[in-house]
Structure 1
């Protein structure tokens, strides 16, 4: 009953009490949005630019990002900055972080928004990890790790004393209770899993990563949250079978709705005190999956990720 109720309330949320008009002036704030060239990320970047933030759009396709930056400039009068980033390649992740750190000393908000859902099972990252876990979790972990000094500096310069990391998860995080480390590389165990099961696992990974990051760095000023942005119509569904998408489409909302919860976490005064929380549509808190709060599992995942990125540092 608890799971059914949670899925229902996250799929059919009440009207939001938070809107983009509630975002405070963000002058002087430096913010990164991964996957900010489309969907929820683009709507997030739009709202941030409209409130005077300096916004980096971290994504992999230069042509699409250029088009997004042009669109956003027309809509807001402000120009975002392109940061080349392919989360499925740890070399690219390192290069992106180094480029940012070479330009900026402070980072005030990091929206780990980009993601991939249900690709063909044979698709892997450049380093041979499951594409969904490697992109959604490991890539974001490494990117965040390399930006910790900038986040700590951003926290020191902020009036509220915090910098924020906002991980975009999903209601799919409710549908699994563990991370099977044997399925994170191209193993026989992974091949026996369905793409949707691997997606659920990656979305739980987003929650675990946020909670462990918050545990490790909250006392130094980094507040980390995870969230379900809602069922949003975006290119995230590009790998879905047409029939499944047709059925699912009746439960989809515009991308502007999907940006609300992460903007609430990343910009509101309340967001400074949301560390370790799981947020749901639209701009509400929830208990989330009890597995996501497991410090042992989160610690094991953190250790696994540390080991995997160590060779690239």
Structure 2
């Protein structure tokens, strides 16, 4: 895939900064954790399994002894777990310089979470929206006391946002899409990640807040076609089955890149000096380049409608004011 001149080695020192990476124990998330920690940052690894997270932290620290990484219990299939994780982080840290909403599932069979939402829509979108909501006060206060551009947020999306969503983008009267394909449910959730980014930038980005007044910089990142466990997860109907079958072939042909490359665009958007305030709200494509998302992803009225729907949906459950 095309690449800019960006390299993780070009990221400046992140000494004294604090980051949270969801899904940080494996795949692209793990490589993102490594990229931040090896530049001196303190990194929280958001993960559902304590055992897997601690094993990943141990593995990283064996190679990078100075890496400052901490496990944060976070199960995105549970809203209460999301709120508890945000509250713990806010209690432990006076500042948060970056949030990378990285975790995700793809192409899995239809199922509902304990909260009653389709698993991909909650894991990939709703829970990250809720996590962001509860961490925004900490991000904002950090931005107000930090140099411009220090505090940033990345939502990891996919080019699946363009390939697979339902007609109209978001089916508000049936977000579960039970009768549709697993990949359509995935595409809807990944489109929602970009629309979320658009609204965050509109409400809290440089153009809204004003440069130097506590603005947060935002990006939606398509990491690339990377050889990760997501390809094994795709156990729903075709094209999930096709993807699983094609993965070994794509790997041999070099179509799937290594996991290290998958973290490049996230690291670029969250910490590089080459990502500017003017880029806030952008769609970042492989590798570390500003791209153009689908027409639906650029629909500001759809982004506003999704924000209002989500705020109403989660607010009605009493989840927005919980501390």
Moved more, 149-158 or 243-252: 243-252
Distance in 2, matches of 1:47 and 1:22, equals 11
Distance in 2, matches of 1:240 and 1:201, equals 15
Partner residue of 1:98 out of 87, 99, 105: 87
Deviations 1:168-193, CA, capped at 9 Å, x for gaps: 000101123510112324xxxx2211
- The answer for the alignment partner of 2:187 in structure 1 is 200
- The answer for the alignment partner of 2:283 in structure 1 is 278
Say whether 1:262 aligns with 2:248: no
1:162 Cα deviation from its structure 2 partner: 4.4
Q: 1:102 to 1:272 in 2, by over 3 A?
A: farther
* Structure 2 segments unaligned to the other structure (5+ residues): 236-240
- TM-score normalised according to structure 1 size: 0.91
- TM-score normalised according to structure 2 size: 0.88
The answer to whether the 8 A contact 1:278-1:285 is kept is: yes
- The answer for the alignment partner of 2:238 in structure 1 is none
> SS at the partner of 2:33?
helix
Partner residue of 1:67 out of 55, 79, 102: 55
Moved more, 258-267 or 228-237: 228-237
Matches within 5 A, 1:77-92: 77=65, 78-92=67-81
Matches within 5 A, 1:1-313: 13-77=1-65, 78-121=67-110, 123-175=111-163, 176=165, 177-185=168-176, 190-218=177-205, 219=209, 220-240=214-234, 244-249=243-248, 250=250, 251-273=255-277, 274-310=279-315, 311-312=318-319, 313=322
The answer to whether the 8 A contact 2:83-2:134 is kept is: yes
Deviations 1:139-168, CA, capped at 9 Å, x for gaps: 000000000111012212322254111000
1:68 Cα deviation from its structure 2 partner: 0.7
> SS at the partner of 2:20?
strand
> SS at the partner of 1:124?
coil
Tell me the C-alpha RMSD between the 2 structures. Answer: 1.4
Distance in 2, matches of 1:270 and 1:17, equals 10
The structure whose residues are more often helix, as a share, is 1
The answer to whether the 8 A contact 2:149-2:217 is kept is: no
The answer to whether the 8 A contact 1:90-1:309 is kept is: no
The answer to whether the 8 A contact 2:152-2:217 is kept is: yes
Q: How many pairs were matched up?
A: 296
